[in-house]
A and B are shown apart, each in its own frame.
Chain A
Amino acid sequence: MSLIKLTGGRVIDPANGVNDQVRDIYVRDGRIVAGPNEHEKITAEYNIAGRIVMSGAIDMHSHIGGGKVNIAREMLPEDHRGDPLERTELTRSSCGHAAPGTLAAGYRYAEMGYTAAFEPAILPINARQAHMEMGDTPILDTGGYAMLGSDDFFLRMMAAKEDQKAINDYVAWTLNATQTVGIKIVNPGGISAFKFNQRKLDLDERNAYYGITPRDIVKVLSRAVHDLGVPKPLHVHASNLGVPGNVDTTLGTMDAAEGLPIHLTHIQFHSYGTEGDRKFSSAAARIAEAINQKKNVTADVGQILFGQTVTASGDNMVQYRNADHGSPKKSVIMDIECDAGCGVVPFKYKDQNFVNALQWAIGLEIFLMVDDPWRVFLTTDHPNGAPFTTYPHLIKLLMDRSFRNAMLDTINPDARAMSNLAGLDREYSLYEIAIMTRAAPAKLIGLADRGHLAPGAAADIVVYKEDADRERMFEKPELVFKDGELVVRDGRIVKVVRGNTHAVKPEFDRSIEKKIEPYFQRYHSVRMNNFKISDDELCECGGGSKLIAHACKKRG
C-alpha cells in the first residue's frame, strides 16, 4: 500500500466543476482517494504549491498504430533521420517526427502530459496489428475505433435491406471482435466505391454496385451505435475531404444522423467554401454555427500546422486524388480485404501557400467560433495536419491572441485577407483547455475513471508550472503520474510503465455469427474465428496491457 499526497496545487478539474482551487490530492494504489485512512502514513509527498494540476490529457483522435502508420514510417526515413531518440538507462532508442516509432510516441506523449491516445481508424482486419503497435506504445492508455461503412459485409446487409436490429448485431459483433471502443466511418461507402472505379461519392450519390448512399450509411450506423449504448458517438470522416465547397456535404452529414449523436472528425478538412478568385474559401462560420445549434454534434478540428508531415488515411479514394500534391512526391494507396483501404501521402504545409495558409486559419476559426469546449476537441489528426508534438504550440495559438495575430501576419497575405481570424478576440482559458483535452474526451469516449480528479478516478495526473508562455508550459510538465506512478519529472521520463487497453463490449444476438462465419469462409482470406480477437489474445498483442472493458447500456 502506498499513499501519495500532492499538496497545495491549483486544481483544474472541469468534470467536477473545479476551476483553479487549491486542493490536496491523494493517490492510493493508482487511484485518487479522498484522504488517508486512520493511521495511514503518507509514503510520498509532493509540494506543488502554486502549480497547475490537471488530469492526464487524452488524445481522442491520433493515428498511432496500424498498417497505414507503419507504411508511413517505412516511406519516410529522410524525415525520421532528423529526429533520433537516444537510448537511455530507462528508455529505448527510436525516432520521432511525422510518423514516429511507437516507443518515441509513447515517451513523447507522456512527456507532454498525455496519458491516453485513441487510434481512430482501425480496419477490422488490421485490428490485431493496431493493438500490437499500441501495445508497444509505452505509458499511454490506448484504444481505437473500428472502421465500418465500406466493408462488403455491411454493404451487402444494406443492399439486402436487412433491418436495424441485424445491423446493430453486426456492429456490436465488430466492436467485440476487434476490441475497440467506438465505430468510425471514413468517406462513407466511398472506399468501396473506389474499388468499383468511382472517383467521388457525394452524400446522396449511390455506390455503383450496392446502390447505397453515404447518407444511408451515416443514418444506419449512427442509429446502431446509439441503440447499442456505445458511449462514443459515431466517428465520421465525412465525404469529399479537402474538396472546395465541401461545407454542404459536411452540414448534410450532420443532418444524416437525424438528431442522434454524431462526431465529425478533422472537420477543418471539411469546412471549405468556393468563394473568391481561387474558388477556395473558409466556411468555418457556417460549420461553427451548425455545431453551436445542433447539440447532437461534436467535432475535432484536425488543425494543420506548417511543416513536413505525412497524411495517412483510410480514405484511399481521396488520397489517390491527392497523391500528386504529395511532398516529397510519393504515395502508397491500398484496397484492403473487402474491408476498407488506406492511402499514405507525405505532405508539407507551407505558410506562404494560399491553400495551406487558409487551412491553418480555418482550423483556428472553428476552434474560436464554436462556443462549447465540451463539443470541440483539440486534434491535429496526427500526423495528417501536423505531428502531435505540435500540441503545445496549438494551445498557445488558442490561448494567446497576440501570438496568434503575430503568426497570422506572417502567412500568405491573400489567405489572411480571406480569413476573419484577426477579428476573433477569444482566448481559451486553462479551464477550457482542460475541458477540450481531458474532461470532454473522457466523457465522449465513456471513460468514467479518466479525465477527472475526483476520488475513484485513475491517478493519471499532470502538474504544470504556470507560465505565460503557454507553449513552454504545456510542452514540459513538471510531474506526470500514470495510474499513480510518477513517469515524468521536468519533462523527462523517469519510469516506463505499461498503459491499459480500453474496449467496449456491447451485447448482441450471437446468432449473427451464423451469417458471418460462412461469409468469411466463402469470400474472405481468413476464418472468422481467426479474425476475432479474444480478451486473452488482446493482452498478448498488447504486450501485457490490461484490458479495461466498458459496458454498454442498450438504448434500442
Chain B
Amino acid sequence: MTNEATSTVVTEVACPLCGHACDDLSVDTAGNGLAVVANGCDRARDGFARLGGVPTNASARIDGKPASLEEACAEAARILAGAQQPVFGGMALDLNGARGAMELVDLAGGIVEHINNEFGWRASRAVQDGGGINTTLAEVKNRADLIVLFGTDAVSRQPRFFERAVWVEASMFDFDPSSRRIVYLGAGLNTAPGVSPDGRQPDVFEFDKTRMPEALSVLNALLAKQPVAGEAPLGIPLARWQELADALLAAKYSVLVWTASAFDTPQVDMNVGAIAAIARKLNVTTRCNALPLAGNDGDSTMGAVHLWQTGFPMRTSYASGTPKFDPLQNGMSRLLGNGETDALVWMSSLNDTVAPPSTGLPTVVIAPPTQKLDAEPRVFIPVATPGMHLTGHFVRTDKVVSLPLRALKKSSLPAAEQVTAAIAAKMKEVGA
C-alpha cells in the first residue's frame, strides 16, 4: 500500500485514535515513531508519534521488577484465579483485543467496564427505554441541510467532523454543502468550525449545559405545539426557539448531533431520550435523524463485541457463571468504592493516557509501554497497538462501519489478545 516501492509513506491508513476513524491518513514509517504526514489531526499526530514507537527495553514487570512475559502472565493468572469478581477496566481495544478480553472475563468471572462507559451505559439505557431514529456520517455528508449540535461541538472529541462530514466539496443530491445551517445548543463550545466556508456564522444558543433538559423540553413542547412558559427560556428569546423549531420542521433532512460525554452525566439518558423524541415528532412530516458521536477509545468496538458475543451490554457480571446484566450495580467505580471487586485488570492498547484508578487491589495492567500510571501495579505487561504495530479492526462512531487497521511497524511486543490467551491458558492449567 505504499506510494512507490521505495516509499516509507503508507496511504489510506485508518486511525483508531477517535471514533470518527478517518481512513485517509498518510503515515511515514521511517522514523522511530509513526509520523502522520497528511490528513491527520493533532490527536492523530500525537497518538501515532507516541504509541507508534518501538521501545527496545519494554519488559513485563511484577511489582516493578522486570519479569518474563510468561512469569507475568502466570502471576496475572494467579491473581484472577483467586478473585471472586475481578473488574476489567480501560478496555480501549480493537476487535481481537476485545475478543480475547471477553474470553478471559468469562473464565475469570469478571465484569467489563470501558473507560467511557460511565456515560455510555446511560446512552444505551435510552435505547432500551425508547430507541431512536439515527443516521450515519455519509448520510450527513450528502443529505443534511440543518445540523443541530446538542451540548457538543463535535470537534473536541472528533476533530475532523466538520472537515469530513459537513463542509465537504460536494453532495450527491443537488445542493451546496456550504449552504448548510449549523446550530449549537450550549455554552463553552468551540463554534469556530461551524462557520461555513463562505464565512456564515453558526447560530449559538448559549446556556449552561447542565440545563440541557430544559432546552430539550422547550423544543419538544414547541414541536408539539404546546405552550412554553416565559418570554425567554434559558435567557434566550422564545422567538429564537420558535424559529429553530420551525426550521427543523421545514428542513428536509435535519441531523441532531449529540455525544454522551458532553452531557452532565446523570442527565445522559434523559437528554438522549428527549433528542429521540424530537426526531420522532419531526419524522411525522419530514426526515430528521440523530447522530450520536461515540467510538472514542474503541468504546464502540468493545461494546459491540461484548453485546454480540453474550447478548448483553457491558456491566454484566460473569461471576456466577451466567451473565447478569445490571448497569446500576456493576459500574466500576461503585464496585471499587463498595469493595465488591477483588482484583483489577486494566486493558488498553489504544489509549495510554488514562491511568488505572488507584486501589488497594491486586492490579494487572495490559497496556502500551507508554501507559500513564499513578502507581506501579502488581503486574504490568506491555503490548503493541493495533493500527500501528498490528493489523486489527475498529468499529466507528455509528456502530455500523468498521475499518481495517494496518500493521505499519514491527514491534516485538505481544498483542493484548495474546496476553489474555496466555493468562487464560495458565488459569486452565492450574485448574481454576
Contact = CB atoms under 8 A, between A and B. Distances in A.
Interface of A: 65, 67, 69-71, 73-78, 80-81, 84-87, 92-96, 99-104, 123, 125-126, 128-129, 132-133, 136, 152, 156, 194-197, 209, 320, 323, 330-339, 344, 522-527, 529-530, 533, 537, 540-541, 543
Nearest to B172: A523
Nearest to A123: B400
A346 to B, nearest CB: 9
26 contacts: A65-B308, A67-B399, A70-B304, A71-B399, A75-B128, A87-B107, A99-B311, A101-B308, A101-B310, A104-B311, A126-B400, A128-B402, A129-B402, A133-B308, A330-B128, A332-B131, A332-B134, A333-B132, A336-B136, A336-B400, A337-B400, A338-B172, A522-B170, A523-B171, A525-B137, A529-B12
Interface string B396-408: 0011111110000
A524 to B, nearest CB: 5
B14 A530 contact: yes
Contacts of A156: 172
Interface stretch (B61-69, B318-326, B358-366): B318-326
Contact of B137 (A67, A71, A337, A529): A337
Given A104-B311, A335-B289, A85 B322 contact: yes
A67 B401 CA distance: 9
Contact of B286 (A70, A87, A94, A197): A197
Contact of A129 (B124, B170, B310, B395): B395
Contacts of B1: 529
Contact of A525 (B12, B133, B138, B171): B138
B310 A195 contact: no
B141 A95 contact: no
B318 A332 contact: no
A125 B400 contact: yes
Interface in B6-35: 12, 14, 23-24
A147 B15 CA distance: 27
B84 interface: no
B400 A129 contact: yes
A80 B324 CA distance: 10
A128 B21 CA distance: 15
Given A70-B304, A136-B99, A80 B401 contact: no
Interface string B244-279: 000000001100000000000000000000000000
B95 interface: yes
B124 A74 contact: yes
A529 B30 CA distance: 23
A532 to B, nearest CB: 9
A337 B139 contact: yes
B337 interface: no
B329 interface: no
* Residue of A128, A344, A537 ringed by the most chain B CB atoms within 10 A: A128
Q: Which of B99, B305, B308, B393 has the most CB of A within 10 A?
A: B308
Contacts of A338: 138-139, 142, 172
B283 to A, nearest CB: 7
Contact of B127 (A74, A320, A540, A541): A74
Contacts of A336: 135-136, 139, 398, 400
A195 B253 contact: yes
A355 B282 CA distance: 29
Interface in B379-426: 391, 393, 395, 398-404
A491 B107 CA distance: 24
A132 B310 contact: no
B169 interface: yes
A101 B313 CA distance: 11
B335 interface: no
Given A94-B311, A527-B23, A530-B14, A87 B318 contact: yes
B322 A84 contact: yes
Contacts of A333: 131-134, 283
B153 interface: no
B309 A81 contact: no
Leading 7 A-B pairs by shortest Cβ distance? A101-B311, A95-B311, A84-B322, A525-B137, A330-B131, A337-B138, A525-B138
Contacts of B252: 197
Contact of A75 (B99, B131, B133, B391): B131
Contacts of B308: 65, 69-70, 73, 101-102, 132-133, 136
Given A132-B393, A337-B139, A74 B128 contact: yes
B103 interface: yes
A540 B391 contact: yes
A159 to B, nearest CB: 11
A338 B142 CA distance: 8
A132 B395 CA distance: 11
Interface string B187-201: 000000000000000
A70, A85, A123, A541 interface centre (most CB from chain B within 10 Å): A70
B153 to A, nearest CB: 19
Contacts of B402: 128-129, 132
Given A136-B309, A330-B128, A527-B24, 18 more contacts: A73-B307, A78-B128, A96-B311, A103-B309, A125-B138, A129-B395, A132-B308, A209-B173, A330-B130, A332-B132, A332-B134, A335-B135, A337-B136, A522-B170, A523-B141, A523-B170, A533-B404, A540-B96
B323 A95 contact: yes
A241 B133 CA distance: 20
A246 to B, nearest CB: 23
A196 B174 CA distance: 13
Contact of A522 (B124, B169, B404): B169
Contacts of B50: none
A541 B318 CA distance: 25
A93 B316 CA distance: 11
Contact of B142 (A104, A123, A523): A523
A126 B128 contact: no
Contacts of A103: 309-310
Contacts of A69: 308
A344 B136 CA distance: 16
Contacts of A85: 322-323
Nearest to B129: A330
Contacts of A526: 23, 401, 403
